[in-house]
Structure 1
Amino acid sequence: MSGEEIKQETDAAEESRHDLVLTGLCIDLLILIPETAAVILSGSATLFADVIKCANEVLATFFALLIIRRVTLGGKFTYDYGMGKFESLTRIITGGVMFVSLCILLFFTFHRLIEPERFDMDAAIIGIPLMVLASIADSYHWKKNYRLAQKEPTPIMEAQWRLRRAKTFSDVLILLALVLSVLLVQYSWAEYIDPVVSVLIIGFLLLAGYREINASLPDLFDKTLEEELQFVILRELAGSFDKYYEFHGVRSRRSGSRIYIEIFLGFDPEQKVGEVQDFIDSLKRSLEALIPGSVVSIIPTSEKDPRSAA
């Protein structure tokens, strides 16, 4: 495959991601507007919790779209290591917003648990058909994003299909709560269905916020590769120990879907440059095949601790 064909294929994949994420964002906004109106009319704790959650998801999807658009339009020579840190930073901001929203929801929900209100049918009239449509749309986008993430794995698409999966379960949960509230409206204890389900949605929000921050901090601070990938590198080096003179260390980091690995090796001064280059090329190809998404650099050096000079 020629370089031009690879570029066209990459551009097509980025365009596909862009279109899919943009469609998801538009659907979220179309659902968010009438759902907000339903909250204003009914004061439903469940719908209010979902509006807050949906607003955070719109924010996360917008950031994902921004990153994809930036990568699609270019800037590869401006950001040599891609947009990985920007992606990590935006995920942390999103997680922070989720925790702020969580505080607002906790106050509102516990107030409803202490002073429950009779279920308002306006919530059911608007909410039930809305949640049916949302469930269908989110389950469809869950499957589409998952298939694309399997075909062209990136952190953004991984986050998107997980987001859509969580939204689908949340939509079904809210739909069930609204239906039960209508069917059991004659019972006094049915007043607690609405705030109890909103507590479950708070749980979704708490877990999502924790995952966003927990998954992003290691990459933002350039955490080294996982131990199993370190073993892959060391195993390859051990199998070629007669091709180099000294091993001075490995430095690695992630940037979005890419893994950057630098290996510092010392070579015999009497060794021919061509032989050294052949070994470097061979080791680079082998490691990049074993570690998907990796970019390996073999650096000849005589430094005992090259990391201390970085």
Structure 2
Amino acid sequence: MSHAAGAGGGSYERKQRMILTSLVIDFILWLPDIVAAVLSGSIVLFADALKCANEILATFFAYLTIRKMAKGGAGAYDYGMGKFETITSITTGGVMFISLALVFLAALYRIAMPAGIVHEGAYLGVVLMVIGVCMNTWLWRKNYRLNQKEPSPLMDSQWHLFRTKAFSDFSVLVSLLLTLALASYPWSLYIDPLASFIIAGFLLFSGYRVITSSLPDLLDKTLDEELQMVIVSHLAAFFDEYSALYGVRSRRSGTNIYIEIFLEFDGDRKMSEVQDTINRIRRSLEAQIPRSAVSVVPTDAPVQDGMHGDSFMPLPDT
């Protein structure tokens, strides 16, 4: 099954190290973040600490998932463990929405009951946000490059998560600096809670994107039109090798793509000749579609839609 057997051990080890590094850095920065929020009385720092707690939880789940995937699922998961990645990315998006609700409620509370912040705690918050912007930007870029090299739903959700964290920390930093610089003005009390809505906006956008991009794969949505056209064009190249085309089923499992093609062959042909055609079709498609596993199924009847829970792409007879 060549390409779709799952990422190699080295691939999973790299992802595991990257996520573990992210988890450790997040936890180290989170503890002083709580201290700064308590000392300053800043609602935006408090919201940031709550958001970070949820994000640490999401990264921890991602780490557990990638560890399980690195051990493999031979004998228990015939189609690999790609859906674990998809479920984890959806969990990450869900955590973002939980953080969104917490930030939104905290901001509304501070607008209703405005209060100044303690400058000493705010100064600590400024230092932490500068470090946070730098570290999260670095993690964002590292996860992005790894996802470009070895795409997966899990790493895609991770780099989006750290991009959100980098912009979020920058917003908190600007908010604290403005609040400190404009402390002599009564309306400066509202800078802190209003900045929280910016964080909420980042969370809303990123959470929505992560969930909507992962959900179709979890529900076994068929491949996009571009890949469908690749399949059709390859089958057209073998037009004289089979009698009828009854359909194609396809789905994703993490980074892997599974394709089943149902063909009718001339009953007078030898099985060895049919198998040779099947092998050539399979090799041709797997070479064109990275990380794909192609199965050509000889049949003499149309395939029912929705069998085995897979997505079905009916095609006209060629």
TM-score by length of 2: 0.88
What is the match of residue 74 of structure 1? 72
CA RMSD of aligned residues (A): 2.1
What is the match of residue 23 of structure 1? 21
Q: Partners in 1 of 2:9 and 2:148 — Cα distance?
A: 17
2:147 partner letter = A
Say which SS state the counterpart of residue 107 (structure 1) adopts: helix
What is the match of residue 145 of structure 2? 147
Q: Partners in 2 of 1:134 and 1:153 — Cα distance?
A: 26
In the TM superposition, what whole-angstrom CA distance separates every residue of 1:107-129 from its partner, at most 9, and x where no partner exists? 22112123321132144222111
What is the match of residue 197 of structure 1? 195
What is the match of residue 274 of structure 2? 276
What is the match of residue 116 of structure 2? 118
Q: Partners in 2 of 1:74 and 1:110 — Cα distance?
A: 46
Say which SS state the counterpart of residue 175 (structure 2) adopts: helix
Deviation, 1:43, is 2.7
Task: Pick closer, same or farther for the CA change 1:308–1:63 going to 2, 3 Å.
Answer: closer
Q: Decide which moves more: 100-109 or 271-280.
A: 100-109
What is the match of residue 102 of structure 1? 100
What is the match of residue 250 of structure 1? 248
Q: Decide which moves more: 290-299 or 192-201.
A: 290-299
1:235 partner letter = S
For residues 1-310 of structure 1, what are the structure 2 equivalents within 5 Å? 10-307=8-305, 310=308
Deviation, 1:139, is 1.6
Q: Partners in 1 of 2:46 and 2:148 — Cα distance?
A: 34
Deviation, 1:306, is 4.3
Q: Which runs of 4+ in 1 moved over 4 A?
A: none
Q: Partners in 2 of 1:274 and 1:122 — Cα distance?
A: 80
1:180 partner letter = L
Give yes or no for contact 2:86–2:153 (8 Å, CA) kept in 1: no
What is the match of residue 314 of structure 2? none
Q: Partners in 2 of 1:100 and 1:168 — Cα distance?
A: 18
Give yes or no for contact 1:174–1:197 (8 Å, CA) kept in 2: yes
Task: Pick closer, same or farther for the CA change 1:90–1:160 going to 2, 3 Å.
Answer: closer
Say which SS state the counterpart of residue 237 (structure 1) adopts: helix
Give yes or no for contact 1:84–1:255 (8 Å, CA) kept in 2: yes
Q: Partners in 1 of 2:52 and 2:265 — Cα distance?
A: 57
1:20 partner letter = M
Q: Tell me the matched-pair count.
A: 304
Give yes or no for contact 2:51–2:103 (8 Å, CA) kept in 1: no
Task: Pick closer, same or farther for the CA change 1:147–1:309 going to 2, 3 Å.
Answer: closer
Give yes or no for contact 1:249–1:306 (8 Å, CA) kept in 2: no
Q: Partners in 1 of 2:250 and 2:94 — Cα distance?
A: 27
Say which SS state the counterpart of residue 8 (structure 2) adopts: helix
2:111 partner letter = L
Q: Decide which moves more: 88-97 or 163-172.
A: 88-97
Give yes or no for contact 1:222–1:254 (8 Å, CA) kept in 2: yes
Deviation, 1:133, is 1.3
Task: Pick closer, same or farther for the CA change 1:266–1:186 going to 2, 3 Å.
Answer: same
Give yes or no for contact 1:119–1:185 (8 Å, CA) kept in 2: no
Give yes or no for contact 2:259–2:294 (8 Å, CA) kept in 1: yes
Q: Partners in 1 of 2:218 and 2:8 — Cα distance?
A: 25
Q: Partners in 1 of 2:272 and 2:234 — Cα distance?
A: 21
Q: Partners in 2 of 1:155 and 1:94 — Cα distance?
A: 11
Give yes or no for contact 1:245–1:268 (8 Å, CA) kept in 2: yes
Say which SS state the counterpart of residue 21 (structure 1) adopts: helix
Deviation, 1:100, is 3.4
1:183 partner letter = A
Give yes or no for contact 1:139–1:165 (8 Å, CA) kept in 2: yes
Deviation, 1:97, is 3.7
Percent same amino acid at aligned positions? 50
Task: Pick closer, same or farther for the CA change 1:294–1:180 going to 2, 3 Å.
Answer: same
Deviation, 1:309, is 5.0
| Residue ranges of structure 1 left out of the alignment (5+ in a row) | none
Deviation, 1:99, is 2.7
Deviation, 1:308, is 5.8
Task: Pick closer, same or farther for the CA change 1:212–1:143 going to 2, 3 Å.
Answer: closer
What is the match of residue 312 of structure 2? none
Give yes or no for contact 2:89–2:153 (8 Å, CA) kept in 1: no
Q: Partners in 1 of 2:80 and 2:50 — Cα distance?
A: 31
